A and B are shown apart, each in its own frame.
Chain A
Amino acid sequence: MPDTQQLKDLATQVRRDIVRMVHKVNSGHPGGSLGCTEFFVALYNEVMELNEGFDMDGIGEDIFFLSNGHISPVYYSVLARRGYFPVEELNTFRLINSRLQGHPTTHEGLPGIRIASGSLGQGMSVALGAALAKKLNNDNHLIYSLHGDGELQEGQNWEAIMYAAANKVDNIIATVDYNKQQIDGSTDEVLPLGDLRAKFEAFGWDVLEIEEGNDLEAVIAGLQEAKTRTGNGKPVAVLMHTVMGNGVDFMMHTHAWHGKAPNDEQLAIALEQNPETLGDY
């Protein structure tokens, strides 16, 4: 298992990958990707139990679902650097004939992806279905999922949240990227989410919060704590407080970089703030 410094180096490299990928095609979603870099690095390199190689059914391993598919850059970078596909393929992000579509898909056969996402609000239901399959298969591995906070405005989430608690689906850890930003502004400006913790708890979930969602060690500790809460008759939610655009100073604390690519000059600044660690793709 990699040590903390190695994981931090990986996170820095992933941030480089994100801004370079988005810059190259002048499109994509860097803000949320940067904000979830520590989460993805921790999940795929420290937290989840994974088999070698990729099999759609994921028998005997933990499974992750990305519901807010627009943060595909961080997903692709971490999957590639975990060995699911060649790192060089990050060069093809959003290009014609690529397996790295704008939003993740199974359609092009990219290893690591088990569901298409991008149209928001669908991932929780899918993750719960996979959790039910694990129970039927007597497979005691876990399902992890990630959801945008703004994404929780989609009603299907609350159908799923109600279902999970009522049916004691306690082998899932659903994390919310709680950055309080969405395309049109802050979540408070667009449609306030209210007391998210109280809402999940009222629906019957066990909720824990990671206050420093961009502190790698805090994310690891939080997810490890979440693991210990599984198997107790309640689904587990993690409210992970993050900063959109984390690690690139001019992208932080604003919704402006939700879906906007940096220009050449801005890219240079972003890369300067995130020096190469493991080698660019």
Chain B
Amino acid sequence: MPDAVLLPQFNIAVKHAADVVDIAIGLNLIMPVASSLLRFFLDGIEIAPERIPEKYFDGKDLTSENLTNIAVAAQEIERERQKCSPLAWKWWFIDIATASAGIWLLLSGVVDRVGIWCLGLFLPAVLATGCAAIKYARIRGRFMRAIDTAKKQAESRDKSNSVYVKAYTDRCKKALKKLKATNGSKVK
């Protein structure tokens, strides 16, 4: 076959191959975005216990139940945060599946408009990002509800605790002084 006939076909093949490579690279870069985005959002939630009191409960008492609810919500955030790996298998599975479908459609000639197909390929990433945003809103909502409930029920009792302890210790010390002279003591 003459070179003049082969060259355009070769050029088309090279162009298609370049498009496929571009798409694959683009996908591999963009698919983990959803996971990274969720991680970025979750990192923004302050869940370090030592910071929670300073931030939300300065000078107030927390109930055990509310502290438990905050702890459970914080654990969920931590769990989800650990799951947010750009290398998570689900991203690669979607990535490879869509890329494979795209490559097959391109090579088989079903689709020859790469630009439009690119939009289709990016759709899972867009959906995943949407899912990540919804998941973030749900997790953050639960955590903030736990904080808000605790804030509403927290009592400003720092001073009253001190007053109670001081009054109690003073009372006991006075009682001990009075009783010490008249009663015996023993060691077990």
A binds B: no
